[in-house]
C-alpha cells in the first residue's frame, strides 16, 4: 500500500511501493528522493522513531533502511546531530538543461532606480516589530481594496505636509505600484467614455503603453525648456498625463504659467490631469516644487510611489483622487487583485508617522546630490555631451552633438562593458529627427560602487577620433 509521511523535522511526501518489502520500499523511496533532488544535500531527516510512527513501520525497519543508505553514501549519521543527506550525492541528477538567468549589469546607471543598499533596514525592522506586536493592527486578517486606513491617513498627511497635495484619507487609494495605479485609472476612464489621454513627448514609453492597452489614444504634447506645452491641449482630450515636478526624461519642471494654464484647461473642459510625481522628493538646490494637484484638486489625480525612495520591489504606490473617481477606482482595484498586501502598508504607515521616512529621504537626498555633482563635473570635461534639467531626480539627460557616434552604438558599447543606461530615442513617440541622448542614472549603485561606475562609463564614452576625409 502507498503511504505518506510528514516528520517532525522535515515535511516530505514519500510513496512506499506496495509490491516490495517494507524496508526495500523505504530505501528505494528515499534513494529516489535524493537522486531527484527532492531531498537536497544537508537536509535533516526525521528520527527513526518519528518516521516509523508516521509510516506505520517498525523502528527497526527504519533504522535498517537508514543504515543501508549510509553505507551507500546517500546519508550521513553523526551522534547528537541526527541523519542528514550527504553533501555529495553519489549520482548526478539528470534533467533538461536550464537556461541560465542573465546576470545584472556590472554598473547599473539606468534612470529611475534608487540605491536599494541604502534601504532603512533598521527602521523597517523596528516598525515591523511594532506593527506585529500591536493587536489592533490585525495584520493578516483585515483587508480593504482601497488600502489600509493607517497608510491612507499617513500618506494624506505626508502629501499635504511635503508636497502641498489637498486630499484626505478617504480620497487615497493604495495600489501595487504606479504601473497598476495607472492601469486601473485608464480602465476606469475608458469605461466612463473617455477616448483620449494626451501624453508628454518624450515620455515613459511603458506608461504610454499602459494607457493604450485600455483602448485610449495618446496624442503627443510637445516638451520644451519650460516643460509640457499645455497650450497644445484641446477640448478633444479627456485627460493629460504629466510629470510636472521633474519631466521625464528631460528633467525640466513645468513652468508656473503653464501650471496655471493646465489647471484652467481642466476646469474649462472637464478634462482630467494625471500627475505622475515619480521623484518629487528629490530636488537638490531648493525646496521641491509643490504638486500641481494643489491648483486643481477636483480635476487632478495625484500619483506617488515608494519605488524611488525605498525600492521598486516594495510595490507600494498611492493615488489622491477627485471624489467622483474614488469608488470606481476602488472597484477596479478589487476586480484586479482584491487588495494590496497589508503588512508592508502598515510598516510604511509607521515609518511615515514616526518621521523615519522623512529622515531616510533627507539622507538619500544628500547622497544623490553629491553623486549628481560628481557626474556633472565629469561631463563638463567632455565636448559634445550636454547635460539638461534642473538639479532634481535620479537621472541626468545628456544629449549628443552631431559628431558623436549614433545613440545605439554608444549604448551597445556601454553594454559590452557591463554598463546599463537608457537611450532617449525610444522615449519619443516618433524619434525621427529628434535629438539623440543618454539617460544616466546616478542613484542605483551602492555608495562604494558609484565612482567606479562613473569611471567605467567615461572610459566607454571615449569618443574615437574623427577620421580625416
| CATH for 409 | 3.90.1150.10
Q: Which residue has the cell 494590496?
A: 340
Residues 157 and 246 in one domain: yes
Report the pLDDT value the prediction gives residue 176, as an integer from 0 to 100: 97
Residue 332 in grid coordinates:
477596479
Report the distance separating Cα 172 and Cα 323, nearest Å. Answer: 10
* Last residue in a domain, options 302, 323, 354: 354
How many structural domains is the chain composed of?
3
Residues 389 and 439 in one domain: yes
In a domain, 188, yes or no: yes
* Last residue in a domain, options 354, 372, 394: 354
Residue 44 vs residues 12, 309, 423, 426, 455: alpha-carbon distances, Å: 11, 41, 51, 53, 48
Residues 140 and 210 in one domain: yes
Q: Which residue has the cell 534513494?
A: 31
Residues 149 and 264 in one domain: yes
Confidence of residue 467 (pLDDT cuts 50, 70, 90): very low
Provide the phi-psi class of 270: left if phi over 0, else alpha when psi is between -120 and 50, else beta.
left
Please check whether residue 174 is in contact with residue 341, taking contact to mean a CB–CB distance below 8 angstroms.
no
Report the distance separating Cα 357 and Cα 5, nearest Å. Answer: 47
* Last residue in a domain, options 27, 61, 85: 85
Average pLDDT in the 285-307 region?
95
pLDDT tens for residues 375-407? 999 999 999 999 999 999 999 999 999 999 999
Query: Is the peptide bond between 202 and the residue preceding it cis, with omega within 30 degrees of 0?
Result: yes
Nearest alpha carbon to residue 109 among 422, 378, 448: 422
Is the pLDDT at 89 greater than 60, yes or no? no
58-67, 220-229, 241-250, 391-400: segment of lowest average pLDDT: 58-67
pLDDT tens for residues 424-435? 999 999 988 888
Average predicted confidence (pLDDT) for the chain: 91
Confidence of residue 322 (pLDDT cuts 50, 70, 90): very high
Is the pLDDT at 183 greater than 70, yes or no? yes
Average pLDDT in the 34-39 region?
85
Residues 174 and 249 in one domain: yes
Residues 70 and 168 in one domain: no
Report the pLDDT value the prediction gives residue 49, as an integer from 0 to 100: 87
Is the pLDDT at 5 greater than 50, yes or no? no
> For the sheet containing 317-320, what is the strand order?
172-175, 317-320, 300-305, 272-276, 239-242, 197-201, 220-224, 227-228
Average pLDDT in the 150-178 region?
97
Report the pLDDT value the prediction gives residue 6, as an integer from 0 to 100: 46
Report the pLDDT value the prediction gives residue 442, as an integer from 0 to 100: 98
Residues 318 and 218 in one domain: yes
4-13, 307-316, 322-331, 365-374: segment of lowest average pLDDT: 4-13
Report the pLDDT value the prediction gives residue 10, as an integer from 0 to 100: 59
Residues 258 and 170 in one domain: yes
Residues 171 and 314 in one domain: yes
Residues 270 and 329 in one domain: yes
Is the pLDDT at 13 greater than 80, yes or no? no
Report the distance separating Cα 156 and Cα 293, nearest Å. Answer: 13
Average pLDDT in the 436-445 region?
97
Residues 11 and 133 in one domain: no
Please check whether residue 32 is in contact with residue 89, taking contact to mean a CB–CB distance below 8 angstroms.
no
Q: What are phi and psi of 281, to 5 degrees?
A: -75, -15
CATH at 177: 3.40.640.10
Confidence of residue 466 (pLDDT cuts 50, 70, 90): very low
Angle, helices 323-337 vs 178-191, to 10°: value is 110
Domain hosting 192: range is: 120-354
Residues 389 and 328 in one domain: no
Q: Which residue has the cell 489647471?
A: 263
Please enumerate in sequence order all residues whose Cβ is within 8 A of that of 221, keeping only pairs 6 or more positions apart, or say none: 198, 199, 200, 201, 228, 229, 230, 232, 233, 240
Amino acid at each position: 500500500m502507498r503511504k505518506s509521511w510528514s516528520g517532525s523535522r522535515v515535511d516530505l511526501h514519500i510513496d512506499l511501493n506496495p509490491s516490495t518489502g517494507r524496508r526495500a520500499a523505504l530505501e528505494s523511496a528515499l534513494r529516489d528522493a535524493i537522486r531527484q533532488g527532492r531531498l537536497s544535500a544537508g537536509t535533516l531527516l526525521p528520527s527513526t522513531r518519528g518516521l516509523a510512527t508516521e509510516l506505520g513501520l517498525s523502528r527497526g525497519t527504519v533504522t535498517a533502511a537508514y543504515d543501508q543508505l549510509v553505507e551507500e553514501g546517500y546519508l550521513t549519521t553523526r551522534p547528537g546531530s541526527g541523519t542528514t543527506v550527504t553533501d555529495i550525492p553519489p549520482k548526478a541528477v539528470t534533467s533538461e538543461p536550464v537556461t541560465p538567468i542573465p546576470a545584472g549589469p556590472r554598473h547599473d546607471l539606468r534612470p529611475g532606480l534608487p540605491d536599494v543598499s541604502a534601504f532603512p533596514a533598521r527602521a523597517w525592522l523596528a516598525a515591523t516589530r511594532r506593527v506585529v506586536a500591536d493587536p489592533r493592527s490585525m495584520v493578516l486578517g483585515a483587508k480593504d481594496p482601497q488600502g489600509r486606513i493607517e497608510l491612507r491617513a499617513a500618506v494624506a498627511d505626508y502629501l499635504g505636509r511635503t508636497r502641498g497635495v489637498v486630499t484626505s484619507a478617504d480620497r487615497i487609494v493604495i495600489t501595487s505600484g504606479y504601473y497598476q495605479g495607472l492601469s486601473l485609472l485608464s480602465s476606469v476612464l475608458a469605461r466612463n467614455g473617455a477616448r483620449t489621454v494626451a501624453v508628454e513627448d518624450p515620455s515613459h514609453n511603458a506608461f504610454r503603453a499602459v494607457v493604450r492597452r485600455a483602448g485610449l489614444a495618446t496624442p503627443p504634447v510637445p516638451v520644451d525648456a519650460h516643460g509640457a506645452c499645455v497650450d497644445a491641449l484641446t477640448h478633444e482630450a479627456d485627460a493629460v498625463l504629466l510629470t510636472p515636478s521633474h519631466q521625464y526624461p528631460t528633467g525640466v519642471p513645468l513652468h508656473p504659467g503653464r501650471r496655471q494654464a493646465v489647471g484652467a484647461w481642466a476646469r474649462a473642459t472637464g478634462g482630467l490631469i494625471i500627475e505622475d510625481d515619480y521623484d518629487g522628493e528629490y530636488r537638490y538646490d531648493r525646496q521641491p516644487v509643490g504638486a500641481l494637484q494643489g491648483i486643481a484638486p477636483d480635476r487632478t489625480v495625484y500619483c506617488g510611489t515608494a519605488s524611488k525612495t525605498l525600492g521598486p520591489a516594495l510595490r507600494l504606490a498611492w493615488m489622491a483622487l477627485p471624489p467622483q473617481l474614488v469608488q470606481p477606482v476602488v472597484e477596479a482595484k478589487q476586480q484586479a487583485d482584491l487588495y494590496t498586501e497589508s503588512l508592508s502598508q502598515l510598516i510604511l504607515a509607521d515609518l511615515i508617522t514616526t518621521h523615519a521616512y522623512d529622515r531616510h529621504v533627507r539622507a538619500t537626498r544628500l547622497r544623490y546630490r553629491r553623486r549628481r555633482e560628481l557626474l556633472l563635473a565629469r561631463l563638463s570635461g567632455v565636448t559634445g555631451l550636454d547635460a539638461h534639467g534642473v538639479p532634481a531626480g535620479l537621472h541626468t539627460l545628456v544629449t549628443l552633438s552631431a559628431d558623436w557616434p549614433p545613440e545605439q552604438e554608444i549604448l551597445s558599447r556601454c553594454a559590452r562593458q557591463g554598463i546599463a543606461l537608457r537611450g532617449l530615442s525610444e522615449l519619443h513617440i516618433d524619434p525621427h529627427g529628434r535629438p539623440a541622448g543618454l539617460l544616466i542614472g546616478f542613484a542605483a549603485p551602492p555608495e562604494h560602487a558609484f565612482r567606479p561606475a562613473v569611471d567605467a562609463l567615461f572610459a566607454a564614452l571615449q569618443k574615437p577620433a574623427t577620421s580625416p576625409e
